[in-house]
Structure 1
Amino acid sequence: MRNVSVADFDGLPVDVLPIGTDYPPDHLLARHEHRRAQLLYGASGVMLVETDEGSWTVPTDRAVLIPAGVAHEVRMLDVTTWSLYVEPDAVPWWPTVCTVVEVGPLLREVLRAANALEIPTTRPVGTGRSSGSPCTSCSGWRRSRSPCPCHRTGSSASCAVPTWQHRTST
């Protein structure tokens, strides 16, 4: 879904809510928190994410795993996001602090496809949550999740993502 508020759909009986948003240039998303965990990915532009624990500069080859209930603000520099809002009990392995992770080509395409889906507004008969959720791939996230060293603390003004960070085949 595009350009809708997570609050409008948070009560739906699905494990994962994919929501994409187009932000105007230099938009500040004021400090807020979510009941669900969030995979925040900027498909374009650069995001500046800030929490009480630190700040991150997030380019398009990275995403931020934000735990449920963690207050954060985001400055969007020409950003379109493809976020996943995930029920905390669906991902018990989710980090307890914000973690920047690499977004490879496969995850990028999964995020693109998930954000093109319409969110179901009813649950299938006899189930607690919608089986149409893209959360079937959540178990694979844990195995592929590797933190990236682009966290900064204190008053540091910038955070460079090293160019040597990409993986090569061996």
Structure 2
Amino acid sequence: MSPLESQLRQIADSFLAAFKDLSTADSLALRAPGCLQIFAPASLNPPAPKTNEAFGEHMDKSLRPLMDHFPITAKEIYINETGRQITIWANATPIFKKEAMGSELQEAWHYTGEYIFILDVDENGKIQRILEFLDSLGTERLRGMMVKAKENLGQSGKAF
């Protein structure tokens, strides 16, 4: 039996809530075993698509060490019940850890990006595919902030 509109809306809400506290377990619990997260647009040279394992590692090793929260606030949520598809147009504002910000003024760490997520849901109510459109103007700034945060924590490596 396919998920109903109310169930799809709950999946959307749970998907967004998992980012607030960067909960890897909550994020992965929503996903089908073969879920793939794809990033766009290509002009940003986005990261390669992420399997559940790669996404969990990204959360645990790239985001959680640098940020306390990454709340995503929906501007609009579109539900296509027949197609089992959810489209979320949202803003996201990462909240970096104090130690990751170093001695810079907090204003230098303020960033709000605009994103679109398209979630394809299987008949069991699990997300089987995520297409994430990154903020084409803000992503480079966020990458720079993440690199700086890693430096402040004595880490190295690319942002994502």
Establish whether TM, by shorter chain, passes 0.5. Answer: no
- Between Structure 1 and Structure 2, which shows a larger proportion of helix residues? 2
